[in-house]
Chains A and B, each alone.
Chain A
Amino acid sequence: MNSGIDLEMSFTQGVQNLGLSHELAHLLWIPLPMLLVLVSAVIGVLVTVWLERKISAAAQQRIGPEYAGALGILQPMADGLKLLVKEDIIPARADSVLFTVGPILVLVPVILSWLIVPFGQNLLISNVGIGIFLWIALSSIQPIGLLMSGYSSNNKYSLLGGLRAAAQSISYEIPLALAVLAIVMMSNSLSTVDIVEQQNTAGFLSWNIWRQPVGFIIFWICALAECERLPFDLPEAEEELVAGYQTEYAGMKFALFYLAGYINLVLSALLVSVLYLGGWGFPISIDWFSSLIGLSIDNPLVQIIAASLGIVMTILKAYLLVFLAILLRWTTPRVRIDQLLDLGWKFLLPISLVNLLVTASLKLAFPMTFGG
């Protein structure tokens, strides 16, 4: 797929035909994809929350939410509304400024990272050259928000939870970045679009998961740790820390943490599918398929089908991974903090370094298969 559908161009041309200047048309276009992605991120969270409730119920042989909408589908909406109308409490001895800024600093970088998630050739907000590096840089802001909310709550559980969260996300960021680096080395680009294109030459056989199985496992473990999901949810381990850095939060500020956690989970799943599972690519090459039925790849019908198929594939792959994460959460026990740090520093870090080295040497030895 060399030429995709360019929605931006058709939109700006359409607006220009109404008699507006090119600059103004561009300015009108800018907020649209952002709004779309924001809405889709929130809807993704609602779906994930519902899945989490239903799957956890199934894992524990319960029924789960049932009355709010068909199959309890409106339950997450009810949860959100409840949090929205709850009283916003700031503890008397807390530092109210830091207490308010903390959750915002946790949520904003996660939402900003959606900038680089591609749902198709041109279906992303911005194909920035630094692509995946932007995500790594943005996710490194999060620990500051966690430390801030942990410190400002003026509560020992919160402080410990904040420190744990920051330590955890710093230690797992390094193997994560090294796993991404191996992928970048193979695709010769940091841009997420290029990374996906490089994987879609021969259907599912050319997905990165076959060339980077170790990297895939490292990335998935680290992504779970970054999202603070079980088995790595130490910062909010109920039995030890009440709720970690969230202990003193209520109402909408708590909801921001909640939202950030789930948006981060969906984002991580999307990025795993982009980096390792061929992104918007269909398991069978579209080029091959369209030549089989005798239609040119530039045919508008083929283009539309391919684009919608791409969106469906991206979301499908991501939600398969979300399902896996939820299943892991409700079936595995929590690790201890020393086990967690041991796993990060003594196991994942050396393994990811070796993975990088092996990838580099394979790239030199077999430039055809490992992106020369």
Chain B
Amino acid sequence: MNIAFSTELICFLILSSVVISGSLAVVLLDNIVYSAFLLGGVFMAVAGLYLLLNASFVAAAQILVYVGAVNVLILFAIMLVNKKEKLKPIKGLRTRKLISGAVCGGLLILLLRVSITTKWNLPGPKSIGEEATERIGEHLFTDYLLPFELASILLLMAMIGAIVLARRDVSIPKDDINDFKNDNSLNDKKIPLLSENSLK
């Protein structure tokens, strides 16, 4: 056993234990803020696993998208609404937990069966290392062009929507702000998303 292999093995063991214990904690912890932060840790550990597989571009993309965007969004949502009040007890919580536990257990058994019965082609293809970025680009623009374009259209729609929402100027005349008698005054003054002139 040489140094490179043993380092890899140790890293793999640490990372996978972080992923498993972290994701269990995300589900089982009562404090929702802890869960959200731990989710970020799990995402980072998954990025570490990609790194072990020599997929550095995928690892960086994983960090950028899941840690930098998705997890921060979740945290924002939690911090803006967290009121530190007890949630109402839900009816039949025990049966719900049992059902979801059974579903998760079934999924685990299914995945285990697949991973045991599949004849893995070991050792796998030689890793292409630094070339990977170019290869991903080639694949995106040839074999996977349609999904790529669909995803880009989706993102473009979201971005244009965000810009339209942000560009809406809500201008309320100053003397109207303190007009509490007329509750509808604020709603009346809301300016439509697109002005009528721009549609013509």
Contact = CB atoms under 8 A, between A and B. Distances in A.
B72 A143 contact: yes
Interface string A108-147: 0000000000000000000011100110111011011001
Q: Say what secondary structure dominates the interface of chain A.
A: helix
A86 B117 CA distance: 60
Given A143-B68, A144-B72, A159-B79, A133 B60 contact: yes
A96 to B, nearest CB: 13
A118 B167 CA distance: 41
A31 to B, nearest CB: 14
Contact of B56 (A129, A151, A159, A167): A129
Contacts, number: 80
Interface in B10-44: 33, 37, 40, 44
Contact of B3 (A23, A163, A170, A349): A23
A137 B133 contact: no
Contacts of B163: 345-346, 349-350
A134 B60 contact: yes
Interface residues of A, number: 31
Contacts of B133: 129-130, 190
A163 B60 contact: no
Q: Say what secondary structure dominates the interface of chain B.
A: helix
A346 B37 contact: no
Nearest to A162: B79
A173 interface: yes
Interface of A: 23-24, 27, 98, 128-130, 133-134, 136-138, 140-141, 143-144, 147-148, 151, 159, 162-163, 166-167, 170, 173, 190, 345-346, 349-350
Contacts of A350: 163
Interface string B131-142: 111000000000
A346 B76 contact: no
Nearest to A141: B67
Nearest to B56: A130
Among all A-B residue pairs, the 4 with the closest Cβ atoms: A140-B68, A129-B130, A137-B60, A137-B64
B60 A130 contact: yes
Interface string B47-69: 00000000011001101100111
B56 A346 contact: no
A129 B129 contact: yes
